[in-house]
Structure 1
Amino acid sequence: MSDAAIKGWCPGALRPMLSGDGLVVRVRPYGGRLSAQQAAGIADLAERHGNGLIDLTSRANLQIRGVGDAGHRPLLDGLARLGLLDADTETERRRNVLVSPFWRVGDDTPSLAAEFEQALSDCALDLPTKFGFAIDEGTEGALAAASADVRIERDPAGHLIVRADGAEFGCPVSRADAVAAVLALAEWFIASGGRGRMAAHLRDGAKLPDALRGHAEPAPVMASALPGLCPQGALVGAAFGQLTPSALHHLARLAPALRMTPWRMLLLEGLHAMRSHDDLITRSDDPLLRAIACSGAPRCREAHADTRELAVTLAPHIAPDAHLHVSGCAKGCAHSGPASITLVATGAGYDLVSNGTTRDAPVLRGLSADSILASPSIVGGC
């Protein structure tokens, strides 16, 4: 388990990460989809081998938290029985694929995802640990704001394109050639000296070869997804992206399959009525949708404070068009981008950043949680 103590990579199931509450074991559903049986099985495994907390990640994965060293092997055996385990750590690491949840029965998304995941399993690409892919072939770009380095999309006329993240245009491809074009872009990234992310590589001056550049504009970007009904079913959220086993069991009983999303929500296939549950967000106006918080103390060893207790209390005071980010340290693991209000826990209290990230200069320093709670206007007025 020596790997579990190393920081700075995305955990997997075969290579977990050590946190303050034990090992974090990430499950990467194939095709971005879980059958009801698989979802119920994950809930059972989290209860049996973890501490009963399940994260929904911004990479559309699930994380079973609080796993002890002795429970890791039985947990892997359980995931293997559910068909959710990769052959080895390298295959698992490469299979970093986001799939738009808004596909319809009969379209290309499921077959594209399966073909591409198999190609990643068969290849030997040595990609950076956070390098990822997106399959986003709807008439609107659902995953435009999600992190990905190479994207399969459509242009406004509905034709498939493959686009390097950070490039304005994509290259038109046929369905038969789409997977090969994605792999070609990934191979070019390595061969041209790429070390981190595609967009940064292009900003640093790397030039795409003519054969991979193209001049096709991607489809318009979809509006932000919110809990509620959609043609494919129902989107259901979880406060701070964390589920209990009982909540996941509840969802598994409602739908034949659950589609993963990068918005810390699940899409329940074929559900035509919203079902309330104490541990779930089913309303589009729920104040908790305005709040982002990492695991915080004591669950994370790096955190200086219990971030979620503060975020829950402050969320109703945040303006409907604003967002609050409460981070247990300056790393900003839960949200790397800017927020209307960012509170960063330090050894001396909370630093407050207005319209910025955890890395930006604060406008106030050393605020205690008690002072913030006593005067929520401190954040509500920002």
Structure 2
Amino acid sequence: MLTMSAPRETSLPSRKGRCPGALAPMPAKDGLLVRLRVSGAVLSSVALRRLASAGAGFGNGIFELTSRGNLQMRGVRDADLPSLTEVLSGLGLIDDDAGAEAIRNVLVSPLTGLDSGVDVGPIGKALEDALAQDKALRALPAKFGFLVDNGGPLSLAQESADVRFDFCADRNMFAVGLAGTAQSAVPLGLCEARDVVEAGFVIARAFLRFGGAMTKPPARMRNLLSACSARMIAETAGLRPDPAPKRARCAEASPIGVIELGEGRLCLGVGAPFGRLSAEMLAAAADAAEIHARGEIRLTPWRALIIPRVAEDRADVLRGLLSRLDFVTERDDPRLAVVACIGASGCDCAAADTQADALYLAPVAKWLGRAGVALHVSGCEKGCARPAAAPYTLVAKAGGYDLIVDGAPSGRAFATELSVTAAAAILAGRGEARLEGQPFLSKLIERKREP
């Protein structure tokens, strides 16, 4: 059993690079951005319907699903913020204070409690509570995150986290890792399910302790590991650096479509195009979950909603209904091959209407033949929609798009000052062997040398 040390009585800096929350909304070009950290990423249809109504009444009716399984509301007016806060409080989505809210960066498997994997929902909730109760931990960087994967069919293996716990069925224990995916994270050892919460707590305290001794405090766990050995952190947490075998690299998870969990148990996953949802779409999803399933919706880090426990004879009807409302319901939908930020309509930093351009480029991205996301269209170098590398990234600048190949938005450009049609032609040319004979793209291939 791990031993939890007493809190240190020391003055700690405030969280760096603040992310928006419900109690600490962030000003944006289109109004206040209010991010909801939904515990366990589970909402009832009643709650989702009320959120849809609140988004239309107090904001501009636009919602976004984030890559951490959060739901954010755009365009909220300052004068309406107190009324919105009252609604959120009634739904149990308000913390005691903004600091407690900000520290709850815990991602759990979206199908936990439904699939064959261990139920990590209670573990995730207990970890959230432990983190929120220790005010010293509010000095953690704003994006510092935890992940608990149950080893089920909709794996979080490809999602990165500062501190991760991956269930290993053959050991009946959790593999503890730092700063990466299940494959790339630095291993710390194994722990029992009952020790996950305490291990996460102690590792977070170790990050502050060792990071505080550095000249420049680390922004993420990977920065700390450049100056501090993983063994030191493992020993602090009472772990033995005797890792479980690394998982083989797996494809990006796809929650879209009917998900069969055996014994007639079905879930339906539907995507939000580029993570964006209207209030009408949210209300429709709530109605669908209530009428055709059990009235529950789960958020995912893949910008998709999952409706659990769909009746077997209703799955196709439900999918057709949501497809007509602009949800992504098929796994081969070209929009799944592209990620894009809100763009110039909602962000002063963005130099282009990224989502309109992403929609135009989606067929090209799809036929590049890459699994998962092939293209990232970013409004600026920050790359909010996907900070990590993508096979192809377009970064909007004043003079057009820069194209980066196999890199992050801040990487070195392969081509610069491209119009969206020129970018499409270059991308089509790079995938020409696969695209041959596609009538929709023939003109783009012919123009691939357009300046």
Q: Same fold (TM over 0.5)?
A: yes
1:165 match: secondary structure: strand
Letter of the 1:18 counterpart: P
Task: Give the corresponding residue for 2:281.
Answer: 247
- After superposition, the Cα gap between the structure-2 partners of 1:7 and 1:152, relative to the gap in structure 1 and judged at 3 Å, is closer
Task: Give the corresponding residue for 2:370.
Answer: 321
Provide, for residues 270-303 of structure 1, a one-character-per-residue CA deviation record: whole Å limited to 9, x for no partner: 1241513232000000000011111111211111
Task: Give the corresponding residue for 1:115.
Answer: 126
- After superposition, the Cα gap between the structure-2 partners of 1:244 and 1:127, relative to the gap in structure 1 and judged at 3 Å, is same
- After superposition, the Cα gap between the structure-2 partners of 1:98 and 1:67, relative to the gap in structure 1 and judged at 3 Å, is same
- After superposition, the Cα gap between the structure-2 partners of 1:228 and 1:304, relative to the gap in structure 1 and judged at 3 Å, is same
Task: Give the corresponding residue for 1:163.
Answer: 176
- After superposition, the Cα gap between the structure-2 partners of 1:46 and 1:228, relative to the gap in structure 1 and judged at 3 Å, is same
C-alpha contact 2:151 2:168 (8 A) present in aligned 1:
no
2-structure distance, mates of 1:280, 1:140: 23
Q: Does 74-83 or 102-111 show the bigger shift? A: 102-111
Q: Does 107-116 or 218-227 show the bigger shift? A: 218-227
Calculate the TM-score normalised by the size of structure 2: 0.78
Unaligned runs of 5+ in 2: 1-14, 180-184, 212-216, 290-294, 431-451
C-alpha contact 2:42 2:298 (8 A) present in aligned 1:
yes
Task: Give the corresponding residue for 2:223.
Answer: 200
Provide, for residues 319-378 of structure 1, a one-character-per-residue CA deviation record: whole Å limited to 9, x for no partner: 231611111111111111222221111111111222222112212211223544xxx322
Task: Give the corresponding residue for 2:384.
Answer: 333
Q: Residue 156 of structure 1: CA displacement? A: 4.6
RMSD of equivalent CA atoms: 2.2
- Choose 1 or 2 for highest CA Rg: 2
Q: Does 246-255 or 108-117 show the bigger shift? A: 108-117
Task: Give the corresponding residue for 1:379.
Answer: 427
1-structure distance, mates of 2:369, 2:59: 35
Q: How does 1:212-251 map to 2 (within 5 A)?
A: 212-217=239-244, 220=247, 223-226=251-254, 227-230=256-259, 231=261, 233-251=267-285
Q: Does 160-169 or 238-247 show the bigger shift? A: 160-169
- After superposition, the Cα gap between the structure-2 partners of 1:116 and 1:378, relative to the gap in structure 1 and judged at 3 Å, is same
1-structure distance, mates of 2:167, 2:205: 22
1:321 match: secondary structure: coil
Q: Residue 177 of structure 1: CA displacement? A: 2.1
Q: Residue 247 of structure 1: CA displacement? A: 1.0
Q: How does 1:125-204 map to 2 (within 5 A)?
A: 125=137, 126-139=139-152, 142-161=155-174, 163-166=176-179, 167-193=185-211, 195-204=218-227
Q: Percent identity?
A: 39
2:161 match: secondary structure: coil
Q: How does 1:67-82 map to 2 (within 5 A)?
A: 67-82=76-91
Calculate the TM-score normalised by the size of structure 1: 0.91
Q: How does 1:209-358 map to 2 (within 5 A)?
A: 209-210=234-235, 211-217=238-244, 220=247, 223-226=251-254, 227-230=256-259, 231=261, 233-255=267-289, 256-271=295-310, 272=312, 273-274=315-316, 275-276=319-320, 277=323, 278-318=325-365, 319-321=368-370, 323-358=374-409
Task: Give the corresponding residue for 1:15.
Answer: 24
Q: Does 139-148 or 280-289 show the bigger shift? A: 139-148
Letter of the 1:229 counterpart: V
2-structure distance, mates of 1:185, 1:136: 18
Choose the corresponding residue for 2:35, options 26, 49, 57. Answer: 26
Unaligned runs of 5+ in 1: 1-5
